[in-house]
């Protein structure tokens, strides 16, 4: 199924080919491009071997087009992008920027779909209240 991912700031397309492309930097402020799967729940990633981080490190995510930070407004540990499906319906996608932490949330109105073995670290009800505030 064809899906697009766009930056919430400039709405530039982040998905090229089979990957979503992010400009990132590790805790030593080293910069690198990080390619993630557009499949929700698929945590495989591609990067150059010289760009290093380890599990537990906080990775900074930036839009490669407008260079703005992609941290969500309500939780600094969650990255926010917009997914557009084949019917042009938009979803807010949030995922953890902590390396090795697998938690992804797909939000449309009051509906939250959760993926990833660590998603309970950001519990649904806690997220739900924040989402409601965020979406108003
Ligand atoms: Zn952008």
Q: Where are the domains of the chain?
A: 4-135
Q: What is the DSSP string of 62-130?
A: E-TTT--B-B-SS-TTEEEEEEE-TT--EEEEEEE-BTT---EEEEETTEEEEESTTGGGS-HHHHHHH
Q: How far is the CA of 82 from the centre of ligand 1 (A)?
A: 11
pLDDT digits (tens, 9 = 90+) for 110-123: 788 888 888 888 76
The per-residue pLDDT for 131 is 56
Q: How far is the CA of 96 from the centre of ligand 1 (A)?
A: 19
The per-residue pLDDT for 132 is 53
pLDDT digits (tens, 9 = 90+) for 46-90: 999 999 999 999 999 999 999 999 999 888 899 999 999 999 999
The per-residue pLDDT for 136 is 38
Q: How far is the CA of 14 from the centre of ligand 1 (A)?
A: 8
Yes or no: say if 80 and 93 are a contact pair by the CB < 8 Å rule: yes
Q: How far is the CA of 38 from the centre of ligand 1 (A)?
A: 17
Q: How far is the CA of 4 from the centre of ligand 1 (A)?
A: 14
pLDDT digits (tens, 9 = 90+) for 124-135: 545 555 555 554
Region 80-101: what's the mean pLDDT?
Answer: 95
Dihedrals phi, psi of 6, to nearest 5 degrees? -130, 155
The per-residue pLDDT for 113 is 82
Tell me the two tokens of residue 8.
């919430």
CA dist 81 and 11 (Å) reads 9
CA dist 74 and 32 (Å) reads 25
């Amino acid at each position: 199924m064809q899906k697009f991912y766009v930056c919430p700031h400039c709405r530039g397309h982040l998905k090229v080919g089979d990957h979503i492309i992010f400009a990132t930097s590790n805790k030593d402020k080293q910069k690198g491009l990080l390619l993630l799967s557009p499949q929700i729940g698929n945590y495989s990633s591609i990067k150059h071997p010289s760009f290093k981080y380890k599990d537990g490190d906080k990775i900074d995510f930036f839009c490669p087009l407008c260079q703005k930070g992609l941290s969500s407004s309500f939780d600094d540990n969650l990255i926010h992008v917009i997914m557009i499906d084949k019917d042009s319906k938009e979803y807010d996608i949030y995922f953890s920027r902590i390396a090795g932490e697998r938690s992804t949330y797909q939000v449309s109105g009051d509906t939250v779909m959760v993926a990833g073995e660590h998603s309970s670290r950001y519990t649904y009800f806690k997220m739900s209240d924040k989402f409601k505030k965020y979406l108003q």
